[in-house]
Amino acid sequence: MNELGTYIKEKRIEKGLSIRRLAELADISHTEVKRIEDGLRKQTSPQVLRSIAYALSVPYEDLMAAAGYIDEPATELDSGTIAAGIKDTEDLSQEEIDQVNQYIAFLKSQRKN
Amino acid sequence: MNELGTYIKEKRIEKGLSIRRLAELADISHTEVKRIEDGLRKQTSPQVLRSIAYALSVPYEDLMAAAGYIDEPATELDSGTIAAGIKDTEDLSQEEIDQVNQYIAFLKSQRKN
DNA sequence: AGATATTGTTGCTTTTAGGTTACACATATG
DNA sequence: CATATGTGTAACCTAAAAGCAACAATATCT
C-alpha cells in the first residue's frame, strides 16, 4: 500500500541487491531500509531518501515524489481531471496555481487516517 | 546562520504574524516554530515545511530549498491551460473542495499587495 | 493605576526515526 | 558432515522531533 516502500523494494530486487547490501551502499542501517520498505515509517527524512536514491542509482526526485514530498516529476503534467466544484481558476497566476497545489497537498497531509 | 529559520522568521514578521499565530495557521505547536526559526532543528520534516509554507503563503519549494532538500525552486513546466496546472484533485472530498475554493478566493484577495 | 490578554521563551514529556544486537533460516564452502 | 557466510526479521536502546504546560515580560483595555 505504501508507494515509497514498494518502489524502493522493487528497484532493489530489480538490481539484485539484498536489504543489507543496499543499506551498506547507502550507509544507513539495514533495519531502517526494511522499515521503509515495509511502510513502518510515517516520515522518511530527505537525507535518507537521498542516500537510498544514490545507492539505487535512481533519481532522487522520484523518491521524493514517492514519499509525497514533491509533485510528480514532469512527464505526466496533465495528470488528472479537475474535481468538480473547484472554480474561478481561470485567471490565476502561475504562482497562485502553485500555492493552490500546495494547499491541496497540505489538506491531504492533514487527513486523519 | 540558519537559512531556513531566518527565511521563515523574516516572512512571518513581514506578514505581521506572531510565532503563535503562525503555528495556529500551520496547525503545529508554537514551540516547534520557534525551534525552527532559531535553527535548533537539524532535520525539519517536509510535512512541517508544507504546513508553514501554506500558513505563510510562500512557495513550498522555497522552504524545501532553504532546508537543503532540493537544489532550486522547481520552476513550473508547461503552464498549458490554467486549470491543467491544478492537479491531484481526483479524490478530494466536498469539504476539501470548499476549502480549496476558499483558499483561491483568499489568494485573490491578497493580490494588491 | 490594575486586570487581562498576548508574546517570546524554557523545562518537561511523549512519540518516532534510526541504530545495535541477536535470532532463525537459509546457502554456500571446507 | 560441519561451519562459516548471507539473508530477512524482530526486540531493545538512544537521540532527535514535536507537543504540553508554565513562566516572565510586554502590550492592551477598562
A69 inside domain: no
Residues B113, B81, single domain; the answer is: yes
A67 inside domain: no
Task: Identify the band that residue B1 occupies on the pLDDT scale cut at 50, 70 and 90.
Answer: low
A66 inside domain: no
Residues B39, B91, single domain; the answer is: no
Residues B54, B80, single domain; the answer is: no
Task: Identify the band that residue A39 occupies on the pLDDT scale cut at 50, 70 and 90.
Answer: very high
Q: Last residue of a domain, which of A59, A82, A102?
A: A59
A47 inside domain: yes
Task: Identify the band that residue B99 occupies on the pLDDT scale cut at 50, 70 and 90.
Answer: low
Q: Last residue of a domain, which of A59, A87, A105?
A: A59
- Return the pLDDT at B84: 55
Q: Which of A47, A64, A101 sits opposite B87 (nearest CB)?
A: A101
Residue B90's nearest CA partner among A71, A106, A109, A85 is A85
Can you give the residue range of the structural domain that contains B24? 1-59
- Above 80 in pLDDT, residue B62? yes
Cell of residue A53, nine digits: 536514491
Percent of chain B with pLDDT over 70: 68
- Average pLDDT of the segment spanning B63-79: 69
Single-letter residue type at A53: A
Residues A92, A53, single domain; the answer is: no
Task: Identify the band that residue A75 occupies on the pLDDT scale cut at 50, 70 and 90.
Answer: very low
Q: Last residue of a domain, which of A59, A88, A104?
A: A59
Which CATH number is B32's domain given?
1.10.260.40
* Alpha carbons B3 and B19: distance in angstroms, whole number: 18
- Return the pLDDT at A72: 67
Residues B1, B47, single domain; the answer is: yes
Residues B10, B45, single domain; the answer is: yes
A65 inside domain: no
B69 inside domain: no
Task: Identify the band that residue A95 occupies on the pLDDT scale cut at 50, 70 and 90.
Answer: confident
- Average pLDDT of the segment spanning A71-97: 63
- Return the pLDDT at B80: 30
* Alpha carbons B48 and B27: distance in angstroms, whole number: 9
B67 inside domain: no
Q: Which residue has the higher pLDDT, A70 or A113?
A: A70
Residues A79, A52, single domain; the answer is: no
What's the pLDDT tens digit per position in A82-91?
666 677 777 7
- Average pLDDT of the segment spanning A49-58: 92
Task: Identify the band that residue B92 occupies on the pLDDT scale cut at 50, 70 and 90.
Answer: confident
The structural domain count of chain B equals 2
Residues B47, B80, single domain; the answer is: no
To the nearest whole Å, the CA of B9 is away from the closest chain A CA by 20
Residues A2, A55, single domain; the answer is: yes
B68 inside domain: no
Residue B107's nearest CA partner among A107, A84, A85, A98 is A98
DSSP B2-66: -HHHHHHHHHHHHTT--HHHHHHHHTS-HHHHHHHHHT--S---HHHHHHHHHHHT--HHHHHHH
To the nearest whole Å, the CA of B100 is away from the closest chain A CA by 7
Task: Identify the band that residue B44 occupies on the pLDDT scale cut at 50, 70 and 90.
Answer: very high
Residues B12, B49, single domain; the answer is: yes
Residues B1, B29, single domain; the answer is: yes
Residues B3, B50, single domain; the answer is: yes
How many angstroms separate the CA of B13 from the C1' of D18? Answer: 23
Query: Which residues have CB atoms below 7 Å from chain D, the nucleic strand?
Result: A 18-21, 30-31, 34, 38, 43; B 28-32, 35, 40-45, 47-48
